[in-house]
Structure 1
Amino acid sequence: MRKVQENLLIRLAAWVLFLLAVWGCAVSGQKMILALSCANDSIPQDTGRFSRVLDDYVGRVKVYVDYQNALTGVLDFETEQVYRSEVKQTEEKLDRANTNFRYQVFSENGSEVIASNLDESLGTLEQQVEAVYIIELEQGGELLYGVLPMETMDQTGVEDEFYFVQKEFLEDQANLDLYMGQTIILSAIAAGLFLFALWGSGHKPGQEGVAVTWQEHIPLEAYLLLLGTVLIMEMYFLGGVSDAWWNWWDYGDAAVRKSIPLVGMIAVGGAAVAALVLRTVTVRCKAHILVHTTLVLRLAVFLWTSAAYFMKTLPITWKSTLAFLAYLGVIFFADYWEPLYYYRPLPGMVVNVVVLVIVCWWSAGFRRIRKGTDVIAAGNVNHKIDTTRLPGELKRHAESLNNISSGLNSAVDEKMKSERFKAELITNVSHDLKTPLTSIINYVNLLKATQQTDPKAQEYIEVLDRKSQRLKKLTEDLVEASKASTGALSVNRERIGMNQLLSQALGEYEEKLEERHLTVVCTEPEGESYVYADGRHLWRVIDNLLGNCTKYALEGTRIYVELIRGKGSVTLAVKNVSREALNIPAERLMERFVRGDTSRTTEGSGLGLSIARSLTELQGGTFELVVDGDLFKAMVTLPQAS
């Protein structure tokens, strides 16, 4: 199909055949129109053409009688000669040897025949013609007339207007179906060829896409002007042809019939120009350059885009003001414009209903945006606001919110990616540190098993042992903090007694607390407080909190441990007085590697609170810190188990 579409010879043949089909359609169509005038009539005498010819001959008889009557009076020589010449010409036209029309003119009393073209040897007027018509003359008397039957016309051999009317009537009735079928078939062929030619327009062999020629660089208005000029000229020529058809007895039947091919050529010319215009329009549409090659469309697009840009850049306050002024103008126009004034207040009510619909549409769109904004603000950054059928300003606002949502989503994804990268880095580095650290610890243990004679060497071994154990603890904390923050730890939640677990933890830390001269004040509710948590992770949380107290609490002070039960949850609160000034916000203390000891002289790693919070949240609980001066308070809240 593509080769057929790109073949120049085939397309030229299609255009030529199209024009030939148009010519044939125009010719057969004219013949069909002429035949249709006889379709509803059974005899030639019923047709309009026959009536017009008959009226013309009756008029000639009247003129003939008038001129004869005028010649009986007193006339000047020149007028008399003119009248005699007219009488002579009319007598020749009405002579029975030249026409199939028969007539008799009687005097006013009906006793005398003033004029006639009858052959009395053939009988009376009623015997010679098919029907006798009678008309009263203005100057007095009667005119009786009629037309010979068709068979009589064939015998006399007189070929006048009546002969051709009856002959063409019989031919048109016999060929009406043929003319109609030709017209329909040629119209279909012309339409098919035209569509095929348009389908192939703009394509060339070996060239992808649409080939634009010099014709498409001419402004479309020039083609439209050419088409309009051709149409006006054709209407002028066709007006003359239609006049010949209407007054065909003045021009002659042969002249009317000869005009049919001429009208066909005129139709071909108009079709050729129209096809040229439609071809270039089709190519421009295929190449998407119709607007750019049409001056009026370019001007309209420029004005529209300028107005749209002006309205877009206009502040919303001015837009609202202009909209309100436009509303007032439309209301005034609807109430006081004269054609609408008589229907008051109906036009104004219609305008108000339309405005109400627009306001409701705007309000519904605003409500949709408001609900979408609430969803995004609640944390669902993937939510997209539906912008279909939203007003212009609201649609732009919704698109901006969707873009913000996409930006937030990208930022969150980037942050999660960064967190995963940091967790993987910490895990990998910690894993790589374990191997040499294990070797160091093993060699230190071997050194401790040997007999050292030098006291300094024994002291160095103890320092190595203490520092390697601290480094091991730090590495383990790093791995656990990384896993806890990313949710990589498995959680097996079960029913656990909080009082019992707290008592065990306080028992293990009793010696360490006594070394720091710290006193524990424990407050527990009556009965066991059960929580729904992972025992291993919960133990680590309590261990980190008590370990914090031993590292950072002021010596000689009290540590308050309180267990609170109620409202479907159990809260463990640990309070102590810090040895160092706490000039760090509570949220900052829960970050990794942040310590209350800014000098970092203690053995803490700064990961305990971060690990405790992550583990608490993994178990479905909350972890809070409160810092008030030197008072430090940590609260772990977990769901209560029934």
Structure 2
Amino acid sequence: MKKIYKTSCKIWLAVLCSICGIITLIGLLGTVVLAEYGVYGSNDWKQDLEKRAGDAYALWAVANYHGGELWSDIDTDLTGTGFCYGIIKGKYVNQDLSDGKTYVDRNFTGNVPSDYLVRTFYLSERPSYHLSDRLLADNGYYAGETTENKEVECYGIGFDLIDNTAYVWDGKEFHPLYEEFAYPIDAQYYEGTTEDEKINKAYEQLWKNAAEKDADSKDGLRIGKRTFPSMKDSGWDYVLYIAPWNQPDAALQAKNIADLSSIHDELVSADGSSADLGTYTSIRAEVKKEGNAYYTVVYFPKDAVHMEDGWKKGSLYTQAAILESVIPVLMIACPIAMVVCFALALWMLILLLCAAGHRYGEDGIHAVKAVRIPMDLMIVLVGACEVALLYLCEIGFFALRSTTYPAFLGGGIMTIAVFAGCMIGLGWLMTVAVNVKLGHWWQNTILYRIIDFLKKHWAGLRSNLRQIRSRIRWSVRVWLIFALFVFLELFGLAALDATEELLFVWFFEKILFGVGLYFLLKYYGRLKDTVVKMAEGDMNVKVDTTGMPLDFEEHGKALNTIGSGMTTAVSERIKSERMKTELITNVSHDIKTPLTSIINYVDLLQKEQIENDKAKEYLEVLDRQAKRLKKLIEDLIEASKAATGNIKFQMESVNARMILNQSIGEFEERLAGNQITLVSNVPEGDVYVWADNRYLWRVFDNLMNNIVKYAQPGTRAYVDMTQSEGTITFTFRNTSKNELNISADELMERFVRGDASRNTEGNGLGLSIARSLTESMDGKMDLAIDGDLFKVILTFKAQ
């Protein structure tokens, strides 16, 4: 079994399989052809072969007599062929075939035997012929221009009741009228027109003229040499509505219409073409040209068979006799050869498929380069080759049947083409077998790769489309406008009856445009998303410029440069702020130590018995200012810690209502001392927030202290506490005693006070500390200034 793995064995198997396949095909075709000729059912095929030979010689005889253009280079002399013929000019209508005067040309004398055959030809003045001296080749002719479109006079009109069709007589033959130009209308419902009198007078005169030409005419309407009853005499209660091209419509009465029902069969089988009316008494039809003629060939064989001449030199009758002797053998040989060779071809094909991919002396399946070609692409390539070879076979078949080329040329071309087709087909089947054995017949296709590519990129495509919709709100409108234009263009192409080629180009252009629009929106969405994030404060965001067109890429790089510059500037600003904070903290610590000594010594001096009043006054001022400076330093240190996140918060659930009430209670005396009335709106139930108890107290303390310092005496201040949707909101409102010519953001900065003259207490750190502490506890602090109305809003998460 492993011997078939050898390359030489595979080649021999392929060659033998192809040969057996060709023999099988020949046997099949032979069997089918013999069956079509009825060889297996009766013996009529013998007469058919002789008739084929006689029909071919009949055409030769007409070509020799009538003349014309001959497309083949053969000797058409019928001498010695055993073909006897006589040519009658016209159709055969029971003429005396034994009378020599019947023929215009003949090559026999005496009587015509009873088994004669007849063939009729209709030829123009200049026909052309394609003749062959091979029985199985075609002997044909082109009659030439036998008809012409012409307007001719009408010499009679009639109606066939069997097929309800009107006919006109042009003096030679009948022509059926198109139904839309001549149709019956019930006479009792027809109102009539002024033109009816004209058409009926015209046909009355026509019938009168026809009758006068034939003195023996009987009662009725005369057409040619026959008389027909009128439709009125046949009891027809209709009129024939006529619609000519060059005259107004009118109705022809039944008395002026011949009843042609008696010659219905003749009318149906007639050669006359359909016509329409030019005028009432003329028709436009395709009529036979002048100079055309019918030729009838009466023929029979006589001493036609000379087997000694062989196929090549023998007459067509000799070739027919040779086929009669060969066909009985072919009747048996073709089916047997077909079955036997098919079995052998199938057996060798199975061996080839089993050996495909194997190498002699090696294990495993080995793939040659052809196996790497995708299988569906291979099908297309093999199909194209087979179609080309089929076309080559057609050329060979034409050469085989032609008299111009030798028979062996056509047969050789067909044999080579069929053999090459078999070898290519076997090679393709072997590549399929190797792909199946390797287990990747489906993976090794372009279709699989396309589907796999779409699967891999489908998720990314959907994600990109979602990003486009989220980044560009009007992207849906863009696609809708695109779809509208596609519909309008398609409607326009349909209205213009565009060709299939133009539709294909348009469809391909729309696909490219849609893909381009998708990528345009995708890249624009990236740029817009980056700009929006930068506007929101995220300076670390970068534009992915991968795959962007040049203009988009340049824009993206510019945005990345801006972001990098802004990030650097912010970093420098943060660094500067940190250094400033650290400087303040360090200086504050350095000042705190000598200040503590000053405060201690001032305290000691106050305990001494100093009788000098002036010295006591100086000592009180020193004590007050030292304590104020201490408070400033403590606030600075606390503000620095809050800003840099150096405070450790103990986050817990805190009763915000209790702490707020305590803070309000501690400031009641000071508020009353400054003539400020506090109005609080605090819920009765306990409200908890997630915060640090000590620093929440400090926030409230700073804000209440701010009211005491900066509220206008004699006014009311408000403290509200509300709860909604998981948040707790604290609102502190008061009327400022100084004009607030400053923004809320500036007021939140360190050392900034609403009292520009700085005549009041405070150092401008209270609000800054309160905001830093609030944000460190995941809260939010907002300021609002409306004229002299000052409002602070704190927001914390409810617990």
| TM-score, length-scaled by structure 1 | 0.45
Higher strand share: 2
Higher helix share: 1
